Amino acid sequence: MGWLRNLVGGDGGDDHAEEHERSARALESGGLPLHAERRLRELRDAPGGLFTSDLTVNEWALLERARIQPVTQVMGSSIFKTGWRSLPTSATTGGWYGGWSGFIREMPQLSDAFNGARERALARLRAEAQLAGADAVVAVRLNAGGHDWLDADTVEFTAVGTAVRLPAELRTPEPVISDLSGQEFWQLAGAGLRPAGVVGITTVVYVASSYRQNRVLGSGGWFSAPNQELREFTQGFYEARELALGHLNAQAARMGAHGIVGVRFTEQTQEREYERNDRSQRDLIVTVHVLGTGITDGHAALAPPEPLTIMPLRGR
């Protein structure tokens, strides 16, 4: 710990070093840094104070009239480094077509890295909401990305939203996380529906080109073949999507959801080119992210707030 003590320096260096070490242990177990816990507890114990949120003015006005009170912005983040893995090649035996065949195969180590980072980011978001005394987090934005100062074998998820306190009829034992806007959150409540929580999954699939497709990819100029679909790459996208949806539905079922709304797909592709038997081989790595909010039905519908007419006062 000497290097950390020198870094903080000055009086109280030992205390700072101990806090850093305790924060590191908390993060290692999926928790929050100590200074974040302190700030949120202070916020919880001082009701009626200043709040921050990323709600729009329209969202804030509607939630306020619906007795939903913003508490503070909350965040959860996690950066994973993927473990060692060997990329498959078209020389792998078996597969779907036989011989020098193409194949489609999930890369579970990469899928698990994305899903582990997302789960920890959302868990930290929920932990911040609990410490702040909130009942829910609305308008959650979940971003996947990386940093230039890290190598390519890292994945990151950052979740940001606004923690709110709900009227008694909307409360649940634990804070509910949703990526619904403030208006959508209230519309669900008015229809007798409730958000059960965010559901999200990532699948990473490797698509190896068969001999035939690789010849099509390598053709060019005047001697190129006519327009034709790269069926193996197309099927790779379908395979990644179906795997993701299967995991997403299972995740929603485990939380007791009756459906998923606001489902969004994002995808990334990475071409891999290498030499095989003195020929250039071109394969594809497909990454599919799926995110939505699980909902439950059969609840009492809440009456919407009285409509309010607003007229612009500024001249044009």
134 or 305: whose pLDDT is higher?
134
Residue 1 lies in a domain: no
**Residue 67 CB-density burial (10 A; 0-12 exposed, 13-18 middle, 19+ buried):** middle
Would you place residue 170 in the very low, low, confident or very high pLDDT band (cuts 50, 70, 90)? confident
pLDDT of residue 264: 93
Residue 308 lies in a domain: no
pLDDT greater than 50 at residue 212: yes
pLDDT greater than 80 at residue 25: no
- The sheet carrying 69-81 orders its strands as 69-81, 154-165, 136-145, 176-177
CATH code at position 118: 3.30.110.70
Residue 244 lies in a domain: yes
Residue 3 lies in a domain: no
Residues 82, 87: Cα–Cα separation, whole Å: 13
* Overall average pLDDT of the 30-38 stretch: 68
Would you place residue 20 in the very low, low, confident or very high pLDDT band (cuts 50, 70, 90)? low
Domain that holds residue 249: 31-296
Q: Any idea which residue has 């290498």 for tokens?
A: 274
85 or 118: whose pLDDT is higher?
118
pLDDT of residue 29: 67
pLDDT of residue 67: 84
pLDDT of residue 185: 87
pLDDT greater than 60 at residue 130: yes
pLDDT of residue 306: 67
Residue 25 lies in a domain: no
* Overall average pLDDT of the 21-45 stretch: 67
180-205 tens-digit pLDDT: 888 888 889 889 999 999 999 999 99
| Tokens found for residue 216 | 């099509």
Overall number of domains in the chain: 1
Residues 281, 197: Cα–Cα separation, whole Å: 43
| Tokens found for residue 92 | 């792998």
Question: How distant, in Å, are the alpha carbons of 133, 172, 253, 255 from that of 250?
Answer: 30, 22, 5, 9
* pTM, to two decimals: 0.76
pLDDT greater than 80 at residue 312: no
* Overall average pLDDT of the 240-258 stretch: 96
pLDDT of residue 250: 96
pLDDT of residue 2: 45
Average pLDDT across the chain, whole number:
80
pLDDT greater than 80 at residue 290: yes
Would you place residue 10 in the very low, low, confident or very high pLDDT band (cuts 50, 70, 90)? very low
Residue 5 lies in a domain: no
Q: Which range has the worst mean pLDDT, 63-72, 168-177, 271-280? A: 271-280
Query: Containing H/E element for 276?
Result: strand 259-276
Residue 99 lies in a domain: yes
* Overall average pLDDT of the 287-291 stretch: 94
